[in-house]
Amino acid sequence: MKREILARMIDHTLLKPEATPQQVTTLCAEAREHHFASVCVNPVFVPLAARLLSGSDVEVCTVVGFPLGATTTAAKVCETELAIAQGATEIDMVIAIGLLKAGQVAAVRGDIAALAGVCHAHTAILKVILENALLSDEEKALGCRLALEAGADFVKTSTGFAKTGATVADVALMRAAVGPEMGIKAAGGIGAYDDALAMIAAGATRIGASRSLVILQGAS
């Protein structure tokens, strides 16, 4: 795959709790240079990233309800509104994992729909993190369907903080669940060009990676 095409499919990511402003500054400079789709940073760094990427083709992505998904819908809505006001254009929210596993579909759908409404009112994109390592295949498919019904733009495999991250099998399962149009973000443990290509072949339309520069080394 051509380097410029692959770069536009990557969210250049730094979500470690110990990340510093200088590291985020470096992340943004790399994203500008390589024209990644976005940088994905913790909410505290959204204003910095928005300032550094102003006028570029790189979006500012941040996380909400991260990494557990166990905050209230009201708290997630507040996080989302603040992040967008500070310059975020893409929101990666964590699904209410425990409620999904309990089969509380209306609550899970409503949680996602509330954030989709906020995002779309401000022309921002919403991605829903399922945290597949904690779910059965049936729960993964259900989470995908609820995200689709609730109006999300993407479903995403993982936070990167669970015991495992993205797998080709999970991406294929998610694609089967949501159909051909919805975005799928594969994230968590993707650190090489071949890994990224395998995820894309299985149906991923976006890759979340902290080792984006290594991934690009394999591109033509």
Q: What is the pLDDT of residue 211?
A: 96
Q: What is the pLDDT of residue 59?
A: 98
Q: In the chain, how many domains are there?
A: 1
Domain coverage including residue 171: 3-216
Q: List, run by run, the mean pLDDT of 10-residue segments along the chain (220 residues).
A: 95 98 98 98 98 98 98 98 98 98 98 98 98 98 98 98 96 98 97 97 98 91
CA dist list (Å): 179 to 120, 154, 204 = 21, 12, 12
CATH of the domain at 127: 3.20.20.70
Q: What is the pLDDT of residue 137?
A: 98
d(CA 189, CA 152): 24
Q: What is the pLDDT of residue 219?
A: 84
- Which residues are catalytic, by number? 92, 156, 185
131: phi > 0 → left, psi -120 to 50 → alpha, else beta; which? Answer: left
Q: What is the pLDDT of residue 220?
A: 78
Paired tokens of 22: 């200088």
Q: What is the pLDDT of residue 173?
A: 98
93 in Cβ contact with 126 (< 8 Å): yes
